[in-house]
Amino acid sequence: MDKVARLGIRVQDVFDESILRQKVEGSLRQKNELLVKVYNRRDIVVDEIVDYFLAFAERLRPLVIDSTLVLNNALDEGKVVLMEGGQATFLDVDHGTYPFVTSSNPTAGGASVGSGIGPPGSPAPSASSRPTPPVLAPDRSPPNCSTRWACTCRRPVASSA
């Protein structure tokens, strides 16, 4: 919700206290209304959150890179880039067994979205998969797939080479 509502805090925000504070204040304005008025909880103090995350800034700094640039440079150099979408289609937010999904796109198409590699530079997808539905409580499981659909899922991916 925060990403789509443009209230999300990104790791780079931890490196600039004024930006981090501004984003935390904006996010907590809405969240505190819910916490106090709907859930009868105490509000979250902006300074506590900002101070908590600022404490990680220097530890995180050497770990943060421009991953889009690194991946595109690797592809330009002919290197192999491996992307993992461990939960596959059943848990994809757009194509999965909604509402029993993750908040991302762990499919071959989602790899381009998540990595920042545009379609012309995208490597040909190669897959190893099982058509297994997500693990859910028995009373919350989506309906079973038909045998015909399950057989379609089991067909090998055609090679583009």
CA distance 94 to 79: 30
Position 87 pLDDT exceeds 90? no
Tell me, rounded to whole angstroms, the distance of Cα 22 from its chain centroid.
Answer: 23
Q: Using one digit for the tens of pLDDT, what is the confidence trace for 23-37?
A: 999 999 989 999 999
**Most confident by average pLDDT, 23-27, 88-92, 121-125:** 23-27
